[in-house]
Amino acid sequence: MGAQDSEVAQVWRLSDLKLIKTMRLPPQADWFYDKPADTSEPRALADGKTVVVPTFNCGLYLVRDVASANPTLQHVYDFGYRLCEVPVIAGHFLVEAMQSGHAIVSLDLHDPENPREVSRILLPSNEYPHWLALEPDGDRLVITGYGALSTHARFATVNRHTGTLTLDPSTIDFTRAWPDGWQGSAIPHGAVFSNP
């Protein structure tokens, strides 16, 4: 990470850790950027069988025949920005953080070959979202990132039936006095919800 961009996605068999196939991401028809696609973290959709591969350069690819000996990739969507981050799956929706657009976007993937945007949250221009985490079996999202988000976390909700996003106006400030007496900032990079 950081040393080079990735132009491939791989399918591995978990039972014996055998590499099934390394797939080069096909070019996007409207690609004007001179960098490789830079694969991000693959996500399985609600059916547990369909896999999408987002890219840090804001493309989205669909893995076809993931359980076969010859899976393939198809470019299915371009978010229109050039710096996307860590997405989550909420039911049939992919929720993506777009650092370059100061936005969180929800895509309907009921038809994964034809994703469509259903909702968008615009953050202030000094907030650069990076990490999204979804509450297990819930609808709350935590958003961390850079800029003003370096020492803060935001929350939003995603409707798992419609994909509609709603931003919570409150934030958590990690620049404060801590219970152990330490004074200063903390930088929340990643975040998770825990089950009680």
The tens digit of pLDDT for each residue in 138-180 reads 899 999 999 888 888 899 999 999 999 999 987 777 776 667 7
Name the nearest CA neighbour of 168 among 189, 140, 192. Answer: 140
| The predicted structure's pLDDT at residue 32 | 52
pLDDT at position 31 over 70: no
The tens digit of pLDDT for each residue in 57-76 reads 888 999 999 999 999 999 99
Is the domain spanning 8-185 CATH 2.60.40.10? The answer is no
DSSP-based three-state secondary structure for 79: coil
Residue-averaged pLDDT of the chain: 86
pLDDT at position 19 over 80: yes
Rounded to an integer, the average pLDDT of 119-135 is 93
- The pTM of the full predicted model, rounded to 2 decimals, is 0.87
The tens digit of pLDDT for each residue in 86-110 reads 899 999 999 999 988 899 999 999 9
Query: Cβ neighbours of residue 90 under 8 Å, at least 6 residues apart?
Result: 106, 134, 139, 158, 160, 163
Name the nearest CA neighbour of 158 among 146, 150, 148, 168. Answer: 168
